[in-house]
Amino acid sequence: VKFFYFGTTLSAHQYLFWTQQPTTGIKYTQNSPWMEYSSAWPLIATSIPALLIFDLGVPAAFIFACIKFRTRFSDPSIQMYFGSLFENFDPRCYWWEIVVIFKKISISLALKAIPSANAFQLSVVITILAGAQIVQVALSPWRRRTENISDSLASLILIAALIATRSGHFLYSSQVLWYIFGLATAYVLASLGLL
């Protein structure tokens, strides 16, 4: 479910976002560049039930399942069906998977909804990452200490990469990009070494 949910939720939002042709000013849907956005309203109306199911129904069902089964995570039948949703997290943060999914979906939707030339896009994505990171540092939700540290480092590298690649006005910006690339490479190698 956790792998199916992310892609399907993004697909349910596909007709909500538009892009504007610079020369004519005509708005087109992002997923079908030949379709004018004004013609997409029937498709948007059709996707509303899917939006309700994936944006409200599935998270509510997950939270309900977390609350209902929180005392029985060691039960073999619960482990067989729901184990991958809970096994990586500390028992007191059994619900953290929903935070991870919401973080990914929020970032993806911000990247689609706000044009990349708009500085607000960078601000929104950094706010999402930093907010989730603050909560994560406070709770340490991962079962293993190395996962808490590596997730924090991954967020910091992503924030640094976003800032470095979105600002062409930095002095020595190409060196900054190589520096971020080096950090990301070191992170991947360290992660592989910890496995």
Positive/negative CA dihedral, 179, 185, 188, 191: negative
141-183, pLDDT tens digit by residue? Answer: 999 998 999 898 888 888 888 877 776 655 556 676 777 788 8
Which residues 6+ apart lie within 8 Å of 167 measured at CB?
173
Residue 86: CB atoms within 10 Å: 22
pTM assigned to the model: 0.75
| Per-residue pLDDT tens over the stretch 50-108 | 889 988 898 888 888 888 877 787 788 877 777 777 888 888 888 898 898 889 889 98
Measured between alpha carbons, how far is 103 from 158 in angstroms, rounded to an integer?
13
